[in-house]
Amino acid sequence: QTVSILKDVHTHGVACLAFDSDGQRLASVGLDAKNTVCIWDWRKGKLLASATGHSDRIFDISWDPYQPNRVVSCGVKHIKFWTLC
């Protein structure tokens, strides 16, 4: 059974996903040329935020277990820390 559909952003595929600690938000990284990073209210299928990721491929994304509005992504030759407003 499908629980949620997240559409109109990652048209080329998804590189990685991560749920926050309470399971409310989902971080995703697309396989597009901009490696777009998105934050979703996945139950509602609503995009909360998106940003250009990095010029090089992103391999993973994870939520900070101590600061609920921070995520970190890593990939080819980089580690990037993100803060949600």
How many CB atoms are located within 10 Å of the residue 82 CB?
18
Query: Residue 85's pLDDT is what?
Result: 85
pLDDT by 10s per residue, the chain, length 85: 988 888 889 999 999 999 999 999 999 999 999 999 999 999 999 999 999 999 999 999 999 999 999 999 999 999 999 999 8
Torsion of CA 84, 49, 20, 72, to 10 degrees: -60
Query: Residue 20's pLDDT is what?
Result: 97
Distance, in Å, from the CA atom of 71 to the CA atom of 85, rounded to the nearest integer, reads 12
Query: Residue 81's pLDDT is what?
Result: 97
